Chain A
Amino acid sequence: MSAGEENIATPGEILGDSSQFIAGKGTYLAPNGRNIHASLTGQRRLVPPPPDSAEKRLTVEVVGHKTRGAVPEPGVVVIARVTRVMARMASADIMCVESKAVKEKFTGIIRQQDVRATEIDKVDMYQSFRPGDIVKAEVLSLGDARAYYLSTAKNELGVVSAQSIAGATMVPISWTDMQCPSTGQVEKRKVAKVL
């Protein structure tokens, strides 16, 4: 335990000098430009520089043992449940960020022009999503005060799981259709191509 204790860094602790290390994740460079301080509680790790760069210094980072709750950031893939579908946008509750569940949901919206990549002006929102669908989307931006902007405009994004009108979980047939296994009815959705 003593070896592990020496490796644990706490916020504000000086990890090294900027002449020997680069500040990585969980660390920051002091305003005087010389010291590198930790900003999280966790294990201190040294990462060697990529072999083909001119950088000789190791990167020091702190891996939090208890990472903070997930927060959506631009560029990450999230799993959301659709709550409302309107003429030009659909509202969804973000439940997972990458593979981590959030403690309390965030609100996101998928606008008409972000549903798919082709023919974006001919999108019918009600034929792409229904309330209760689980969708995989990508965060476009932080959006406005009320919601994050999400996009499903890629092949692997879109509805992952949906319930039919009869109440059974539907099976995807194509990128626009899903079929109910008990009644055989085909419903239109923007389906994700899950490999």
Chain B
Amino acid sequence: MATGTLGTYSPSQSLERRHQQQKRTDFQEVDWARSDGRNFHQCRPAFLRTGAASSASGSAYAEFGSTKVIVSVFGPRESKKAMLYSDVGRLNCHVTYTTFSTPIRGQGFEHKEYSSMLHKALEGAIMLETFPKTTVDIFALVLESGGGDLPVIISCASLAIADAGIMMYDLVSAVSLSCFGKNMVIDPTSEEEACQDGSLMITYMPSRNEVTQFTLTGEWPTARINEAMELCLDACSKLADILRSCLKDNASELTA
């Protein structure tokens, strides 16, 4: 008589999933090293240049770590005939991802809402009444998406608008912050963003001490939101100083 053993089996997770879960528990620990060697409250070094696209009225290029964005501003130019008359100027924002910007080709199409978020962040800072009946077009192209895309897009766009000579109330700088349980990490990279519990993004006009956009997503322990906000606001002020010095350098290059 053949004695067949009663077999049972337990499936085990694939190697990839086990690695991902290991990473998540790593992030929950008190001190883990970030992949690029920064500490939790350190932002990536910023490289900014205006005048990147010569055919546009104004343009800027920004590189924050591996996130690379180029923004061009056209205008003020005539609105389309179909648009109704308006006493104040119109702002038209468009954010596109190149197909090679993400590790997997064509993943950028998940961020369709970035165009309207960029619009909301900027419309409070531009003096629309100085160009009635006309439209300012802002086109942002993300060349490489290395995490924290929208804050980089917003800061770069405000630099491009200042380069185009359009009157603004103030420069807009934006910083995002990720929450991992008890830890708060500023300016996350894309792998940190994928494992985060919650995120906070603030766009801020430092000279006027006004916030133009406040975006809070995910799970947040309530007590930490205040602390996160202070961190972000401080980072935004420092980033705005960097934006200003970039504008001044490029302006003095032109006059010199």
B53 in the interface (beta carbon within 8 A): no
Interface size on B, residues (CB 8 A): 40
Task: Report the minimal beta-carbon distance from A110 to chain B, rounded to whole angstroms.
Answer: 17
Residue numbers in A under 8 Å from B164 (CB-CB): 66, 68-69
Binds A, one of B33-41, B125-133, B147-155: B125-133
Nearest opposing residue in chain A for B80, CB measure:
A145
Evaluate contact between A37 and B77: CB separation under 8 angstroms.
no
Assess A68 versus B132: contact at CB under 8 Å? Given A4-B252, A41-B251, A145-B81: no
* Interchain CB contact (< 8 A) of A69 among B57, B170, B171: B57
Residue numbers in A under 8 Å from B167 (CB-CB): 11, 26, 39-40
* Interchain CB contact (< 8 A) of B166 among A1, A10, A68, A146: A68
Nearest opposing residue in chain B for A32, CB measure:
B208
Evaluate contact between A68 and B171: CB separation under 8 angstroms.
no
Assess A69 versus B162: contact at CB under 8 Å? Given A12-B207, A40-B167: no
Task: Report the minimal beta-carbon distance from B109 to chain A, rounded to whole angstroms.
Answer: 30
A13 in the interface (beta carbon within 8 A): yes
Assess A107 versus B171: contact at CB under 8 Å? Given A4-B252, A10-B248, A145-B85: no
A129 in the interface (beta carbon within 8 A): no
Evaluate contact between B162 and A8: CB separation under 8 angstroms.
no
* Interchain CB contact (< 8 A) of A5 among B81, B134, B166, B248: B248
* Interchain CB contact (< 8 A) of B78 among A41, A65, A104: A104
Which parts of A52-67 form the interface with B (CB within 8 Å)? 64-67
Nearest opposing residue in chain A for B51, CB measure:
A66
Evaluate contact between A145 and B163: CB separation under 8 angstroms.
no
Assess A40 versus B165: contact at CB under 8 Å? Given A13-B244, A65-B254, A104-B77: yes
Assess A12 versus B206: contact at CB under 8 Å? Given A26-B167, A66-B165: yes
Evaluate contact between B163 and A41: CB separation under 8 angstroms.
yes
Evaluate contact between B252 and A1: CB separation under 8 angstroms.
yes
Evaluate contact between B57 and A68: CB separation under 8 angstroms.
yes
B256 in the interface (beta carbon within 8 A): yes
Measured between alpha carbons, how far is A103 from B252 in the docked complex, in Å?
Answer: 24
Nearest opposing residue in chain B for A11, CB measure:
B168
A28 in the interface (beta carbon within 8 A): yes
B6 in the interface (beta carbon within 8 A): no
Assess A103 versus B78: contact at CB under 8 Å? Given A10-B244, A68-B165: no
Which parts of A12-27 form the interface with B (CB within 8 Å)? 12-14, 26
Evaluate contact between A142 and B133: CB separation under 8 angstroms.
yes
Assess A8 versus B79: contact at CB under 8 Å? Given A37-B169, A68-B165: no
Measured between alpha carbons, how far is A60 from B29 in the docked complex, in Å?
Answer: 55
Evaluate contact between A65 and B171: CB separation under 8 angstroms.
no
A186 in the interface (beta carbon within 8 A): no
Residue numbers in B under 8 Å from A142 (CB-CB): 85, 132-133
Evaluate contact between A11 and B171: CB separation under 8 angstroms.
yes
Evaluate contact between A41 and B162: CB separation under 8 angstroms.
yes
Residue interface bits A101-117, CB-to-B below 8 A is 1, else 0 = 00111110000000000
Task: Report the minimal beta-carbon distance from B122 to chain A, rounded to whole angstroms.
Answer: 12
Residue numbers in B under 8 Å from A42 (CB-CB): 251
9 A-B contact pairs sorted by A residue (CB < 8 Å): A4-B252, A12-B205, A39-B169, A66-B254, A68-B165, A71-B131, A107-B78, A142-B85, A145-B81
Q: A11-B162, A68-B57 are in contact. List 11 more A-B contacts (CB 8 A).
A: A5-B252, A10-B248, A11-B171, A12-B207, A28-B127, A39-B167, A41-B247, A66-B163, A66-B254, A68-B164, A69-B164
**Which B positions have Cβ atoms within 8 angstroms of A?**
57-58, 74-79, 81, 83-85, 127, 131-134, 162-171, 205-208, 243-244, 247-248, 251-252, 254-256
